[in-house]
Structure 1
């Protein structure tokens, strides 16, 4: 399973990076390939390429603030979550994604 994500929060500092780390850890714990782009106060880091998008099974986007370059993901399955949920509930989010994909 290949997961991509973009995290961003209104202030663009701590929660953006905490959410990215939590999602990466939870996905890796399931044995999945994961890459999380952060859109914070210093701009876009770990930017996701079009090729990576094409290979992804699902995209996770935080919904607290508009994601830059979101049109890259227009034809993919997208899960939108709050940045605080990404920080606090990343393992449960990955479980829900796994269940959804298994039933699809």
Structure 2
């Protein structure tokens, strides 16, 4: 399964990057290929390309705020989660939301 994700938090500092790191480290355990865009204090990093999005089976929006350029995911199967869900139990996120 291929997933693209966007992580963002209100301050755009620690939680944005902690959630991205948790997703990237845990994905192989569930046979998931993932690319994560962060929208933090440094701006948009690791920006998802139209090709990345088109190739994805699902989109995870892991954020408690509106993410930039959200319209690019309108045609996709998109799952929105609070950032806390990933930080507290990333395995549960994959088990519940990232199965084929």
Q: Which interval holds the TM-score relative to the shorter structure? A: over 0.9
Instruction: Report the counterpart of residue 30 of structure 1 in structure 2.
Output: 30
Instruction: Report the counterpart of residue 93 of structure 1 in structure 2.
Output: 93
Q: TM-score, normalised by structure 1?
A: 0.91
- Per-residue deviation at 1:98? 3.8
Instruction: Report the counterpart of residue 84 of structure 1 in structure 2.
Output: 84
Instruction: Report the counterpart of residue 11 of structure 1 in structure 2.
Output: 11
- Per-residue deviation at 1:50? 0.5
Gaps of 5+ in 1: none
**Superposed CA RMSD:** 1.1
Bigger shift: 27-36 or 3-12? Answer: 27-36
Structure 2 residue matching 1:35: 3-state secondary structure: strand
Instruction: Report the counterpart of residue 53 of structure 2 in structure 1.
Output: 53
Instruction: Report the counterpart of residue 21 of structure 1 in structure 2.
Output: 21
Number of equivalences: 100
Q: TM-score, normalised by structure 2?
A: 0.94
**Partner Cα distance (1:77, 1:13) in 2:** 27
Structure 1 residue matching 2:9: 3-state secondary structure: coil
Structure 2 residue matching 1:3: 3-state secondary structure: strand
